[in-house]
Amino acid sequence: MRILLHGFGTFALIWRHLIAHAQKVAPEIEWSIILQTDHHRDVLRAVLPDERIFCLEHHQARESALGLDLSVLATYPGNIHADIEAEKVAFKHQAARLQLARAVETYTLYKEFAERVRPTHLLISQIEGFEGKMLTGLGRELGLTVMVPVNGRNLGGTFFASDAYETLPAHRAATPELLDRARAFVARFRESPTSAAGRPDDPAADGTVLSTFRPSLPVRAARFARRAISRPDLFDREHLRTSVLNNLPFLRNRMWALHRWRAARIFDIASPDALPKRFIYYPLQYTPESSINTPAPYYVDQLRVIDALRFAMPHDHLLVVKEHPACIVVRPLSFVKALQQRAGVVLTQYRMDSRMLARRASLTVSVSGSATLEAFLFGKPALMLGHSFITPYLGGASAVSALQERIAGAIAAPPDDEQVANAVAEVMSVTYPFMLSAPGLPDEPVLRPGNIARMFDAVRDHATRAAAHAGHAARAA
């Protein structure tokens, strides 16, 4: 097995520990890694030779010498324009031609490296922008087994998708034993709902926190300055702004607190007693964010969603919209005020209980958020316009042209308990007890020896099961 990793951001540090663990228990596996910058190259050199570490910024052409040859995409199975829109910040302030040229260049460079190291598997930390989205397509083009870890949200654990849309593995199966476990889980959830964060209960049980190899702030600042001076054409002002805020949390938190205070005063409904008799519930998603940019970039402008819903909902319903608690600190006040000027829309106070709203609503709708999963687990109607692992159990993503019919159908036919249990059992059948997220979460649940060990076991087991299923399917055909 030869595994190519995408070392997006600080996920490269997790891969450093994963490789070190694998070299002890499975030295026959060959590892390679793609890095965007050389931030963590020296850290990876401790476990990988230089020829299996690819650093993008060291190979990118100067802007003045950057060409644009779209013919190199002739065999690419994805859509490079949709891939670009998965990006949250990078590219966005650049001219359209430069965005496309940089995207095609990145695709070409990554393809050349992959063809040189000849991996059998591609493990992508997270679909967080253009590169992750494009790499899933490149993996398909090269015939690799693509593995994208997906957090199971309220169900816990992690499974591996083969694409950017959280598609569950084909070898999932709801066995009688898993159905019993699923029914018990649903019963417990309805009494005491679990968190959508999918965090382990006791991270400390997995051992002492591993090293983050994090250099001091002056060292990081000096490196950033050197890169900006040597390659001004690669400088991204949004990355600078984000870095400054992340390294000055006192200033950032004061700014957020002021914005929250201002935005929290904009609402129509302050208490559950004031909710409409009949309503459709739409919780706003955090944007820009990979959870919506990746599976449904058309709906990054959520006013499109809101307009589509209010034009398609039953005449005796209102559309209840609630701000995302994390996004209230950054979303422009103009957006929230614009909601109050749309007929049929009422805005709740952002602290109102989302689960209560899902239980009382005729229907919960989201592009790709976890509120629809929670509504489904409660046995309440739910509908999605984008993709997540729960989407197929809700009848698939709805096209705008079919929205009126889909809304009426979903309200008339909420999921029964066996539908819910079967879906949960299928997810359980491919879920593993580890967590993958960027370092820095409270209690650091990811960077612990026990979690890293289970992560590796999961990668190896999933690869084996995926290969066995593919072989069986090929023989059956």
Give the DSSP letter string of 178-202.
Answer: HHHHHHHHHHHHHHSPPPTT---S-
Q: What is the pLDDT of residue 288?
A: 60
- Residue 353 pLDDT more than 80? yes
pTM over 0.75: yes
Tell me the mean pLDDT in the region 440-444.
Answer: 90
Q: 374 and 415 in contact (C-beta within 8 Å)? A: no
**Please, what CATH class does the domain formed by 2-173+182-209+431-476 belong to?**
alpha beta
The confidence band for 440, taking pLDDT boundaries of 50, 70 and 90, is confident
Closest CA to 263 of 199, 326, 319: 326
Higher pLDDT, 215 or 437: 437
Q: What is the pLDDT of residue 175?
A: 97
Tell me the mean pLDDT in the region 398-409.
Answer: 96
- Residue 327 pLDDT more than 90? no
- Residue 227 pLDDT more than 80? no
Rounded to 5°, the CA angle 435-440-443 comes to: 70
The confidence band for 244, taking pLDDT boundaries of 50, 70 and 90, is low
Q: Model confidence over 388-398: pLDDT tens digits?
A: 999 999 999 99
d(CA 72, CA 74): 6
Q: How many CB atoms neighbour CB 361 within 10 A? A: 25
Q: What is the pLDDT of residue 213?
A: 82
Q: Which two tokens stand for residue 269?
A: 């409904």
Tell me the mean pLDDT in the region 301-309.
Answer: 90
The confidence band for 260, taking pLDDT boundaries of 50, 70 and 90, is confident
Q: How many CB atoms neighbour CB 371 within 10 A? A: 24
Q: Model confidence over 23-77: pLDDT tens digits?
A: 999 999 999 999 998 889 999 999 999 999 999 999 999 887 888 899 999 999 9
Distances (CA, A) of 248 to 251, 255, 260, 351: 6, 11, 18, 27
Distances (CA, A) of 293 to 165, 243, 321, 397, 456: 11, 21, 20, 15, 28
How would you label 134-146 residue by residue, b for 16+ Cβ within 10 Å and e otherwise? bbbbbbbbbebbb
- Residue 294 pLDDT more than 70? no
Q: Where are the domains of the chain?
A: 2-173+182-209+431-476, 272-425
- Residue 285 pLDDT more than 90? no
- Residue 262 pLDDT more than 90? no
Q: Model confidence over 118-175: pLDDT tens digits?
A: 999 999 998 888 899 999 999 999 999 999 999 999 999 999 999 999 999 999 999 9
CATH number for the domain formed by residue range(s) 272-425:
3.40.50.2000
Q: What is the pLDDT of residue 385?
A: 94
Distances (CA, A) of 314 to 196, 406, 409: 30, 11, 11
Q: Model confidence over 71-106: pLDDT tens digits?
A: 999 999 999 999 998 887 667 778 889 999 999 999
Closest CA to 356 of 336, 339, 380, 340: 380
